[in-house]
Structure 1
Amino acid sequence: MSSKKKHRRAARMLLAGLLVTANGCSHLDIIPPGPHDNTPSIHDDYGMQIEYPQVAECASAPSMAAKAATEPMSLEDPSKIPAFEISLEEAIQLAVQQSPVIRSLGGSVVTTPQGTATVYDPAALAASPTQSAEAALSAFDAQYTQQLFWNNVDQPSNRQSFTIPGVGGGPPLIFAPFSQSQNATFTSELAKQTATGARFAVRHNVSYLRTQDPSVAQLRFPSAFTGFVEAEWRQPLLQGAGTTYNRIAGPNALPGQYNGVLIARINEDVTLADFEAAVIQLTADVEQAYWDLATAYRILDANIKGRESAQQTFQYQKVRLEVGTGRTDEEAQARSQFYQFQAEVESSLGGPNGLYALEQRLRYLIGMTASDGRLLRPATDPIDAKVIFDWESALGQALQRRVEIRRQRYNVKRRELEIVAARMDLRPRLDFLAQYRWRGLGDHLIGDDDGAQFNSMYGNMTGGDFQEGQAGIEFSLPVGMRQASLAVQQSRLNLQRERALLEETELRISHDLSDAARQVSLTYQLVETNYNRYQADLLQVDVLRRRYLDGNDNINFLLQAQRQVVISEAAFYRSLFSYNIAIRDLHRQKGSLLAYNQVQLAEGPWAAGAAADAHTTGRFLEPRINPSAVSVPAPLTSGPFDPSAPQNTGFTAAPLANEVIDSPMIEAMSYDDESVTIDPVVVEEVPSPSDALIPIE
């Protein structure tokens, strides 16, 4: 067959194969099923089966509280339930002490448990084997390595056996067609990386060789030990040199990948800032839930009083209708308003924002059971005095004390350090290398010194007869420095980004502080206005009730006035508690919420013996005679910062607008059948800042 025919036949076969493949998977149908196709797999029955994990469980306060919950309350009468009075200070104290998990109202611990903050987060990062400062310091720890191998060689050779007569009457040399030997190698090294980039190493190597090959009969010893001890010093002169670079990037770091001691320290500080932010959020949530519960009590009282008033009017109309002096439409209107207030009372009790729901929300935040037969009742009186904040002081503290700004400043500091390391990477690699070695040879590893030179390897080595050394430099340069140049460019962009975020954070915080300050002024003014409105509605109800009882007015005006007095009373208490929330928000915006609520952040207790170890180590530390002559790197931070420390601020307090309201503010009200009794409360002066109640800036 000619070559052309062969090529044409191969082309036709290739074309046929392509056509078969183009028809899809039909060509697989002709393949018979194998034995594995009908064999059931364990994966079919057990691999995807849902199972329940078995873990070790221990009793804790949250787990016991979860199991001790009783049937929830919905429409029970609060006056018949035992009350458990709790102050705001006690609620916050319980919230920050009851559980290691930082609770939130959203219930993220159920949906996203990995994103829930806990008290273990800072310690977990500090104990991380890859990201902590201790992990970064471990790169400078001394490393000891050791190897010991034994090798047996029995290798045939492609040669014939022959004999050569000995020289000078010596034994003949027999060359066998095989090679047999036993080898052993022992190596050990102790190396230390320094903060300047230098690497010091001490190595020891021992080799053993025993051969049974007659072709090497000229060896001095059929089995011999050889070894050496050497010291090495490698010092980078350009790239990788200096304490600044190694503290930022760490030894043997690649361009753009830095995890030195300073970077790890910043990571730990950022984690602490995140934990502080979570505690601040928890404190704000507890105070929010506390005042919401207090508002719910007041709203419930207002609705109950409105229901009682409507019930009196309805009963009065019912009696009039029975004796024939009333009208059916007026009785129906009074009855409708009574059931309207009844529905509002029921909603105020068991609704989504009712008393029992808000009470359970506070219970969760402070770590109590969902229900235990008692009803939490707020015992802290709301602030009703006018609080005046100094704007300049508040703004300065917000831009200095806010945890978000401190966290972002750490991010900026990280980028500043990275750009320093990136610029140092934009240099060639030039290392100075020095080695010095002592060698030894012996028939024995350790033997008696009988005068022979090579009787003992260690004896020959320690004699110092064979010493060698070398010194020189190694140079390497990536032509173009492309990777290092990209690292510098990326570091610059990252730094600009973090600085822009810092500036934007400061701008946003100033706006949020402005909104909070505005809300303080607004809510206080609403307290005054709603109080005046409430007093006027009380007077209107009293007048219209008397006019209606005298038959001089229509029932519609009385029913409308009764509804209006409940609405105005609820608005007054909402504005009063919103005023306290506004004060909380301003403290939060200016970074003083923890000090305002007397919440302290502190490190947990040291391990047993840590203080004694620190005292022992401190005995060996002596101060420098001339500290100014010591060159030290620039500090990473400006020193410790306590977010819970009280602020050195002045304060001003004023009573509630006596020139607008003639009568003092009310603390509690109760309806009689025909009159309204008001129990006055004297507005006291605001305590001093040491009480952390209302610090005014």
Structure 2
Amino acid sequence: MRLISSNLTSERKRAVRRRVARALLCGVIVAVGGCRQLEKIPDGPHDHTPSYHDNVGLEIEYPQVAECATSPQLAAKSATEPLALEDPSKIPAYELSLEQAIQLAVQQSPVLRSIGGAIVSSPQSARTVYDPSVTASSVNQGTEAALSAFDAQYTQQLFWNNVDQPTNRQPFTIAGVGGGPPLVFAPFSQSQNATFTNELSKQTATGARFALRHNVLYNRTQDPSVAQLLFPSVFSGSIEAEWRQPLLQGSGTTYNRIAGPSNVPGVYNGVLIARINEDVSLADFEAAVIQLAADVEQAYWDLATAYRILDANIKGREAAQQTFQFQQVRLEVGSGRSDEEAQARSQFYQFQAQVESSLGGTAGLYALEQRLRYLIGMAASDGRLIRPTTNPTDAKVVFDWESALGQALDRRVEVRRQRFSVKRRELEVIASKLNLRPRLDFLAQYRWRGLGNHLIGDTDKSQFDNLYKTITDGDYQEGQAGFELSFPVGLRLASLAVREARLNLQRERAILDETELRVSHDLSDATRQIALTYQLLETNYNRYQADLRQVDVLRRRYRDGNDNINFLLQAQRQVVTSESEFYRSLFAYNLAIRDIHRQKGSLLAYNQVQLAEGPWAAGAAADANTVGRFLEPRLDPSAVSVPAPLTSGPFMPSAVQNTNPAISASTSGQIIGDVTQQAVAPSYATVSEADGVDPVIVEPFRNSAAREAEAFSDSP
């Protein structure tokens, strides 16, 4: 039985498969035949008409904006063909000092440029001089926007309403008044209504809300159910004053200055929060200016290095050319060897390739000169070649570690910005705790009511002749006072806001601690680098002098025939390498000085860059002067109850900070004014911080003060 049932099942399955195959085959035949039938249908009148969507709707359009002739735009359009392998000595020089380069960089464009040139790929991340003003003018983050929540608000409404409504009743007639004709009332209700309301309200910093309202209602009706009215049309209204004072949640200047008038837990948009937003924006702008100054100095010294390396390669090429020509002469007279001539020829072309790379390579003279041009806002090329004129510093500078560390932790813009973030979280914790209370408001209202046949006027001297006469007579006065209490049972959302604010505070404090730790490490690295680069400067200088003497000796020995050419060729390569390394270490030392000023927060003072507020709006200075006449300083500020200050006072990032570090001069050094000079190499002078003055570099053998002395000339 099992075998028979299995055979029947197999037969059924095969039959189903055959039916499915036939259905699929028929479907394919019908589809193919159907397509052929559709091809025989002629085209309609619009089948070949081009579509607007195909020709116009898919086009990429170019925006039309108003253009203004600015310095960057003119520089972009006036660029000439770039330099590649031209001889720099035949190109007119544009002498530029480091101070002039930084001045041009901060004045040429409102956009703070960077070496990477990310303005094209990500313009939204670019920093401009407008960013602090944009934050201050923001409707969500600015101080004025936060203050607008406390502005007086005026609202007014005026509505007309006409009612013509059928009613479910029989018509009826009533006797006329004073023997007049009877009055017939139809089964409908007709009336004309008007409503006029206006209100002036004011939210205060203590949380109180004052309001003054005026309401007028006009009604004219023909409803028989109100046939006993005094007037067929009447004006009624009131003048009302209200005072609502929060006693728990939402009360006090501390809460309202942080959270604003909003009573939503976790939402903080008060004046103090907006002030912090503006300060953070200023810190970001200051960081961008510091980055710009650092980039300009980097590009400037890189260009100066490129000049020196090019000179070294040219001198190497000339020496190799002389050796090659001398070897050719010897080969022509029969006293030379062809392999030595080939070696000299190879080294000449090797130096020729280095000269060409030093000119037009990616790290060559022209590329680095163009990078400096971009940072200072000049055209990519204009037929001139920038030539740095500021002499690099070769004096040994010694920074007092304790003073530098204290300045770094106090003056670094990153630390100050993070402190503002911590201050914001502290304020949010205060507001969240104050919000963890029920809503208990004291409410007081007082109103003067009135009724009149007319809105204004005095015709029949009756009691209710006009509305405003009734109100001003003061015969009908009302008042109420009481308390309103409301709160969500459990205060879950407010408790969650407190927990969130505390966690955010802990996070920002941890980041502040980590920032200060990172700043100390960065300052330590910069201090190590300044010591290392100066030592490398001396070492590479001694190496360069030794290689020069070696080349002179081997050249004489080679020309006298006492030595092989390989030693001379190797010495020529070594002297070019040692000269290049010497100049690299010299400019790396100047960049190390820049880095330590940057790490301790004095780079703007070092480069004589000052930050100042832009011009005020017209009349703002006069208004401030007028208001200041009514302000007097408190002789005893402790006797006045004021909210806690947001900041500890003004801070000028470009000002010189006075410190009092200990003077640690070596036994061979002597004090000269405010600097310490040590007996080191004859061409170097050593200075250190002393008497509250930042490092000042003195170059007695050049008879010129370095720019550090200019940067700190206003020190005591």
With the length of structure 1 as denominator, give the TM-score of the two structures.
0.89
Alignment of 1:133-148 (within 5 A): 133-148=143-158
1:163-183 deviation digits (Å, cap 9, x = unpaired): 355799787564421111111
Candidates 69, 75, 80, aligned match of 1:65: 75
Q: 1:449 to 1:465 in 2, by over 3 A?
A: farther
- Pair 1:492 & 2:502 matched: yes
Q: CA deviation at 1:683?
A: 5.5
Residue number in structure 1 paired with 2:544? 534
Residue number in structure 1 paired with 2:584? 574
1:128-176 deviation digits (Å, cap 9, x = unpaired): 1221011101111100010111111112223221235579978756442
Candidates 657, 668, 673, aligned match of 2:680: 657
| Matched residue type, 1:329 | D
- Pair 1:82 & 2:92 matched: yes
Give the whole-Å Cα distance in 2 for the aligned partners of 1:556 and 1:201. Answer: 100
Residue number in structure 2 paired with 1:509? 519
- Pair 1:586 & 2:596 matched: yes
Q: CA deviation at 1:196?
A: 0.4
Residue number in structure 1 paired with 2:443? 433
- Pair 1:258 & 2:277 matched: no
Asked if the contact 1:183–1:207 (Cα under 8 Å) also holds between the matched residues in 2, the reply is yes
Residue number in structure 1 paired with 2:194? 184
Question: What is the DSSP-based 3-state SS (H/G/I as helix, E as strand, rest coil) of the residue aligned with 1:238?
Answer: coil
Residue number in structure 2 paired with 1:333? 343
1:530-584 deviation digits (Å, cap 9, x = unpaired): 0000000000000000000000100000000000000000000000000000000
Unpaired segments of 5 or more residues in structure 1?
1-25, 30-34, 666-679
Give the whole-Å Cα distance in 2 for the aligned partners of 1:513 and 1:67. Answer: 43
Candidates 274, 277, 282, aligned match of 1:272: 282
Residue number in structure 2 paired with 1:49? 59
Q: CA deviation at 1:451?
A: 2.2
Q: CA deviation at 1:647?
A: 2.9
- Pair 1:354 & 2:377 matched: no
Q: 1:693 to 1:424 in 2, by over 3 A?
A: closer
Residue number in structure 2 paired with 1:121? 131
Asked if the contact 2:605–2:712 (Cα under 8 Å) also holds between the matched residues in 1, the reply is no
Give the whole-Å Cα distance in 2 for the aligned partners of 1:618 and 1:229. Answer: 38
1:184-225 deviation digits (Å, cap 9, x = unpaired): 110000000000000000000001111234443321111111
1:627-685 deviation digits (Å, cap 9, x = unpaired): 44320001000100001002335764657832xxxx858xxxxxxxxxxxxxx993668
Give the whole-Å Cα distance in 2 for the aligned partners of 1:249 and 1:209. Answer: 44
- Pair 1:692 & 2:711 matched: yes
Give the whole-Å Cα distance in 1 for the aligned partners of 2:168 and 2:580. Answer: 108
1:352-402 deviation digits (Å, cap 9, x = unpaired): 000000000001101111111000000000000110000000000000000
| Matched residue type, 1:264 | A
Q: 1:623 to 1:552 in 2, by over 3 A?
A: closer
1:437-486 deviation digits (Å, cap 9, x = unpaired): 10111010001153200111000111111111111111001011110011
Q: 1:40 to 1:240 in 2, by over 3 A?
A: farther
- Pair 1:284 & 2:294 matched: yes
Residue number in structure 2 paired with 1:154? 164
Residue number in structure 1 paired with 2:218? 208
Q: 1:258 to 1:44 in 2, by over 3 A?
A: farther
Candidates 379, 401, 404, aligned match of 1:391: 401
| Matched residue type, 1:473 | F
Question: What is the DSSP-based 3-state SS (H/G/I as helix, E as strand, rest coil) of the residue aligned with 1:111?
Answer: coil
Give the whole-Å Cα distance in 1 for the aligned partners of 2:173 and 2:123. Answer: 82
Give the whole-Å Cα distance in 1 for the aligned partners of 2:482 and 2:97. Answer: 76
Residue number in structure 2 paired with 1:682? 701
Asked if the contact 1:102–1:116 (Cα under 8 Å) also holds between the matched residues in 2, the reply is yes
Residue number in structure 2 paired with 1:32? none
Residue number in structure 2 paired with 1:19? none
Asked if the contact 1:390–1:696 (Cα under 8 Å) also holds between the matched residues in 2, the reply is no
Asked if the contact 1:185–1:207 (Cα under 8 Å) also holds between the matched residues in 2, the reply is yes
Residue number in structure 2 paired with 1:607? 617
Question: What is the DSSP-based 3-state SS (H/G/I as helix, E as strand, rest coil) of the residue aligned with 2:111?
Answer: coil
| Matched residue type, 2:354 | E
Unpaired segments of 5 or more residues in structure 2?
1-26, 32-43, 662-673, 685-698
Q: 1:67 to 1:199 in 2, by over 3 A?
A: same
Q: CA deviation at 1:319?
A: 1.2
Q: 1:117 to 1:489 in 2, by over 3 A?
A: same
Question: What is the DSSP-based 3-state SS (H/G/I as helix, E as strand, rest coil) of the residue aligned with 2:119?
Answer: helix
Asked if the contact 2:84–2:359 (Cα under 8 Å) also holds between the matched residues in 1, the reply is yes
With the length of structure 2 as denominator, give the TM-score of the two structures.
0.87
- Pair 1:645 & 2:664 matched: no
Question: What is the DSSP-based 3-state SS (H/G/I as helix, E as strand, rest coil) of the residue aligned with 1:110?
Answer: coil
Question: What is the DSSP-based 3-state SS (H/G/I as helix, E as strand, rest coil) of the residue aligned with 1:241?
Answer: coil
Give the whole-Å Cα distance in 2 for the aligned partners of 1:688 and 1:94. Answer: 17
Asked if the contact 1:302–1:566 (Cα under 8 Å) also holds between the matched residues in 2, the reply is yes
Asked if the contact 2:656–2:715 (Cα under 8 Å) also holds between the matched residues in 1, the reply is no
Residue number in structure 2 paired with 1:14? none
Alignment of 1:367-386 (within 5 A): 367-386=377-396
Give the whole-Å Cα distance in 1 for the aligned partners of 2:701 and 2:560. Answer: 37
Give the whole-Å Cα distance in 2 for the aligned partners of 1:695 and 1:544. Answer: 54
Give the whole-Å Cα distance in 2 for the aligned partners of 1:545 and 1:68. Answer: 50
Candidates 481, 484, 501, aligned match of 1:474: 484
The worse-fitting range, judged by mean Cα deviation, of 526-535 and 157-166 is 157-166
- Pair 1:414 & 2:414 matched: no
Asked if the contact 2:136–2:142 (Cα under 8 Å) also holds between the matched residues in 1, the reply is yes
Question: What is the DSSP-based 3-state SS (H/G/I as helix, E as strand, rest coil) of the residue aligned with 2:139?
Answer: coil
The worse-fitting range, judged by mean Cα deviation, of 474-483 and 609-618 is 609-618
Residue number in structure 2 paired with 1:8? none
Candidates 320, 333, 341, aligned match of 1:323: 333
Asked if the contact 1:360–1:370 (Cα under 8 Å) also holds between the matched residues in 2, the reply is yes
Give the whole-Å Cα distance in 2 for the aligned partners of 1:61 and 1:593. Answer: 27
Give the whole-Å Cα distance in 1 for the aligned partners of 2:500 and 2:170. Answer: 68
Give the whole-Å Cα distance in 2 for the aligned partners of 1:470 and 1:458. Answer: 22
Give the whole-Å Cα distance in 2 for the aligned partners of 1:442 and 1:171. Answer: 27
Asked if the contact 1:229–1:439 (Cα under 8 Å) also holds between the matched residues in 2, the reply is yes
Residue number in structure 1 paired with 2:688? none
Question: What is the DSSP-based 3-state SS (H/G/I as helix, E as strand, rest coil) of the residue aligned with 2:215?
Answer: strand
Q: Percent identity?
A: 76
Give the whole-Å Cα distance in 1 for the aligned partners of 2:56 and 2:437. Answer: 58
Give the whole-Å Cα distance in 2 for the aligned partners of 1:516 and 1:627. Answer: 44
Asked if the contact 1:686–1:694 (Cα under 8 Å) also holds between the matched residues in 2, the reply is no
The worse-fitting range, judged by mean Cα deviation, of 607-616 and 491-500 is 607-616
Q: 1:543 to 1:399 in 2, by over 3 A?
A: same
| Matched residue type, 1:657 | V
| Matched residue type, 2:106 | V
Asked if the contact 1:652–1:696 (Cα under 8 Å) also holds between the matched residues in 2, the reply is no
Give the whole-Å Cα distance in 2 for the aligned partners of 1:681 and 1:565. Answer: 29
RMSD over aligned Cα atoms: 2.6
Q: CA deviation at 1:329?
A: 0.6
Q: CA deviation at 1:622?
A: 4.0
1:576-629 deviation digits (Å, cap 9, x = unpaired): 000000000000000000000000100011122211111222223345576443
Question: What is the DSSP-based 3-state SS (H/G/I as helix, E as strand, rest coil) of the residue aligned with 1:353?
Answer: coil
Give the whole-Å Cα distance in 1 for the aligned partners of 2:715 and 2:175. Answer: 111
Question: What is the DSSP-based 3-state SS (H/G/I as helix, E as strand, rest coil) of the residue aligned with 1:108?
Answer: coil
| Matched residue type, 1:457 | L
Give the whole-Å Cα distance in 1 for the aligned partners of 2:438 and 2:512. Answer: 35
Asked if the contact 1:225–1:457 (Cα under 8 Å) also holds between the matched residues in 2, the reply is yes
Give the whole-Å Cα distance in 1 for the aligned partners of 2:404 and 2:312. Answer: 37
Q: 1:694 to 1:551 in 2, by over 3 A?
A: farther
